[in-house]
Amino acid sequence: MKNSKQDATRKVADAKKTFLSGENFYAHHFLGAHRMEEGYVFRVWAPNALAVSLVGDFNDWQDTLPMEKDEVSGVWQITTKDAKEGDLYKFKVRQADGRELLKIDPFAIRFEKRPGNAAKLYQFPEKKWRDGLWRGRTKRSNPFKRPINIYEIHTSSWKHHEDGSPYSLADLTEELIPYLVEKKYTHVEFMPLMEHPLDRSWGYQLIGYFALSSYYGTPAQFQDFVEACHLNNIGVFVDWVPGHYCINEDTLPYYDGTPQFEYTDPDRAKNNRWGSINFDLGKPQVQSFLISSAMFWIEMFHIDGIRVDAVSSMIYRDYDDGPWTPNHEGGNRNFEGYYFLQKLNAVIKLAHPEVLMIAEESSSETPVTGLIENGSLGFDFKWNMGWMNDVLRFYEMDPIYRKDHFNLLTFSFMYMMQENFILPLSHDEVVHGKKSLMHKMWGDRYKQFAQLRNLYTYLMVHPGKKLLFMGSEWGQFLEWKFDEGLEWGDLNDPLNHAMQMFTTRLNDFYKNQPALWEMEDSYDTIEIIDADNTEESVLSFIRKGKRKKDFLIVILNMTPIERRDFSIGVPYPGTYQEVWNTEMQEFGGTWTRHNEVCQSQSTKFKEYSQVITTTVPALGAIILKPETINTRKR
């Protein structure tokens, strides 16, 4: 017994030491509340507090349980037998200036339901996971050479019950997972699931970095959801926000009355753009806190990837609105954020190399993906915000002007291999007056659907992984509303229903065409046929797989004029069959049958010696595949 107590004491001392040095990536194992043989032990880091007490249901919220401080680590501790599972609690902190505040537990794994924010004593039930086959397969596969097609979801606004209440995680397990399977997605990505006090923030201003929002359900329910996804061959990504946090003073800000989690410089601490507080990413204890949070979500919930929000705000001092101070070199680099992200990715990839780290980053000045040794941040993938902005500007444009702005469509070919990209058509583009993707499209309703089919086809055939926000799959016309369910009634309309079927078939087409993903980490994956046909506004290129005969010819028509007898060069003599046409009647178009099989002709077209001639529908896209070709002759 004596030795076991000594071991426990030694482990706590080691945990405190590594927490202070920024090397404790399991800080949640000793900070927060933990059930022990002698009762519950509570620990909180508040180095400059004058006093800290534990208050909760177990002592009628009275100041009767003062905590003891370890002067070296700044960690306060108390053990009590009175607390039991389900009790609510907070810490009463007498701050450095003598002011007393009730503060949340930063390491709480459960909170009461809003509007309250007291931590709740919760014991994770023992789970026997059944997703070993999925996890083993994921560890053995190369993510850069497999299809990744992500359905982005805001948990509480995907679908509502008849009484207006949002679906819970249990409901989503029953309905969302079959929907993902049916619609042929490979992954689902959740906007932040962590505890947050304000729905209007969409979860991006957190208070609980270790707690699933009680609004969505229990941690056990989310474990079951992830397991069910894996059993159905669906991967799960979660958004995470290590850059800034909620400004509410009873949560993390100025926890002990001094800059604790935040920068000492008030200009760097305050995030003016989002009305929040920035983490001091250079502080070792903050690094321990944040990396422990990431490890918690990966290990407790078996998630397959973390999408790190707002990376630009973490690596540039001048990203925010308001005053900023140059670094010691006189530049705008936030070295603390830069090195923290490298450290985060190094730690995660060492412990869990199969987990994908994804950056939402909007600049091009800093290498984001690739090896840290080469100066990058070490992420696996980066959202291609440039592609998204350029392409949406192009599709919103009256086609009469598109010939003068064709570079918006093609510029991404110049840099598409500089990073490992995900092409996002995300929630940010369908809110705040930006209009839905359907509403952005030019022309009347029929033309809008035609262009939406064209856009989604371009998304699938352009190198890069794919992401589409919920509701966009059927062309919801109204903007997304965070406090309402999607407009599922749209599917009673034949055009919306056909659009949903189109997206499903397109997703399936993508999964079953290796030319669209097995070599997309190399320029060898693409060959431009003609990106200079600005007058007709038609773009054509080839996507290639590993085998010589495995390639697709893509032709996109960006005008409302049907291009008959349209000719392009092809690499080999032979026949080519149309395998995709966005204007088929079943998709909401007018075509009842595909183009005839094309026989190539010996004619010069740019550097090609073979040409095929076909018809490209107005505002449409077609894809052809070689049927019988001679690959020895080019």
CATH of the domain at 622: 2.60.40.1180
Which of 120, 152, 170 delimits the end of a domain? Answer: 120
Count how many domains the chain has: 2
- pLDDT for the residue 10: 87
DSSP, res 121: -
Tens digit of each residue's pLDDT (9 = 90 or more) over 466-519:
999 999 999 999 999 999 999 999 999 999 999 999 999 999 999 999 999 999
Which residue numbers are catalytic? Answer: 309, 360
User: Is 112 within a domain?
Assistant: yes
Burial readout 10-35 (b: 16 or more C-beta within 10 A, e: otherwise): eebeebbebbbebebbbbbebbbbbe
Tokens describing residue 206: 């957190």
- pLDDT for the residue 8: 75
- pLDDT for the residue 288: 98
Are the CB atoms for 447 and 619 separated by under 8 Å?
yes
Mean pLDDT of all residues belonging to the chain: 96
Q: What's the CA gap between 614 and 595, in Å, rounded?
A: 7
Tens digit of each residue's pLDDT (9 = 90 or more) over 582-604:
999 999 999 999 999 999 999 99
Confidence band (pLDDT; 50, 70, 90) for 3? low
Residue 440 scores a pLDDT above 90? yes
Are the CB atoms for 383 and 422 separated by under 8 Å?
yes
Q: In what order do the strands lie in the sheet with 39-45?
A: 32-36, 39-45, 75-80, 68-70
Burial readout 108-139 (b: 16 or more C-beta within 10 A, e: otherwise): bbbbeeeeebbbbbbeeeeeeeeeeebeeebe
User: Is 494 within a domain?
Assistant: no
Q: What's the CA gap between 608 and 348, in Å, rounded?
A: 47
Q: What's the CA gap between 387 and 389, in Å, rounded?
A: 6
Are the CB atoms for 568 and 561 separated by under 8 Å?
no
User: Is 62 within a domain?
Assistant: yes
User: Is 15 within a domain?
Assistant: no
User: Is 95 within a domain?
Assistant: yes
Which of 120, 155, 184 delimits the end of a domain? Answer: 120
Contacts of 101 (CB under 8 A, 6+ apart): 92, 93, 95, 249, 250
Percent of the chain exceeding pLDDT 90 equals: 96
For residue 73, the domain's CATH number is 2.60.40.10
- pLDDT for the residue 366: 95
Residue by residue, what is the 3-state secondary structure of 133-192? HHHHHHHHCCHHHCCCEEEEECHHHCCECCCCCECCHHHHHHHHHHHHHHCCCCEEEECC
User: Is 592 within a domain?
Assistant: yes
Are the CB atoms for 384 and 418 separated by under 8 Å?
no
Residue 104 scores a pLDDT above 60? yes
Tens digit of each residue's pLDDT (9 = 90 or more) over 543-582:
999 999 999 999 999 999 999 999 999 999 999 999 999 9
Tens digit of each residue's pLDDT (9 = 90 or more) over 394-413:
999 999 999 999 999 999 99
Which of 66, 95, 120 delimits the end of a domain? Answer: 120
User: Is 573 within a domain?
Assistant: yes
3-state SS assignment for residue 335: helix
Tens digit of each residue's pLDDT (9 = 90 or more) over 124-172:
989 999 999 999 999 999 999 999 999 999 999 999 999 999 999 999 9
Q: Which residue has the tokens 């093609």?
A: 410
Q: What's the CA gap between 538 and 623, in Å, rounded?
A: 13
User: Is 190 within a domain?
Assistant: no
Residue 5 scores a pLDDT above 80? no
- pLDDT for the residue 9: 79
- pLDDT for the residue 1: 53
Q: What pTM did the predictor assign?
A: 0.97
Residue 207 scores a pLDDT above 70? yes
Residue 309 scores a pLDDT above 60? yes
Task: Tell me which residue range forms the domain holding 560.
Answer: 523-629
